[in-house]
Amino acid sequence: MKKIKLLLSAAAVALVAMFTLAPAVQAQTVASLTADPVFVEAAGEQTFAMTGSGWPANGTVALLPCDGSTNYEEAAVNGAEACDTASLTIVTADADGNLAADFTHNVPAEGFCIGAGTLDSSYVGTFCVGVGAPILPNSGSESAMVAIIGAAVLAGGAMIVLSTRRRSFVS
């Protein structure tokens, strides 16, 4: 009976840790967005053939340059504040949720990102353009956060085990 209580206590600690340490769910749907070419040889005006999928059927999508973001991490942190809303291009997705449009922009020397989103921001997408080489997206999980969560759950389980053990003292 004592082992069952111990296991239930450990499961409760793990469950609480999972819900309190897990990141919040975003309310946005990330849709696909790509540009051709994926990088330019030098800074200057360039026309990109933009394509995307996963957008709302027949939905309106705004494409806009984000000169304040030069890679995917910066684009995620800076959000729409780094984008030039005065230079947006409006595109309509087809019945399957695909979009295709030409997008012209004066590419800065450090590169830039192209942001896209529906007017209510429920669907978003980003594509970053490099100068001299493509900018690769950060893929995979954030292993440091996974390690911290695992250590917290392990420490909680160890505390429960140690607090319920009977100790015998020899006098």
Per-residue model confidence as pLDDT tens digits over 22-35: 554 445 688 889 99
Give the tens place of pLDDT for each residue, 42-93: 999 999 999 999 999 999 999 999 988 888 888 888 887 888 888 889 999 9
Q: Which domains does the chain have, with CATH numbers?
A: 2-24+141-164 (no CATH), 31-131 (2.60.40.230)
Whether the pTM exceeds 0.85: the reply is no
Task: Please determine, for residue 13, whether its predicted confidence score (pLDDT) is greater than 90.
Answer: no
| 111 Cβ contact list (under 8 Å, min separation 6) | 39, 70, 71, 128, 129, 130, 131, 135
3-class DSSP assignment, residue 161: helix
What is the structure's pLDDT at 85? 85
pLDDT of 47 reads: 93
Asked whether the predicted pLDDT for residue 8 surpasses 50, the reply is yes
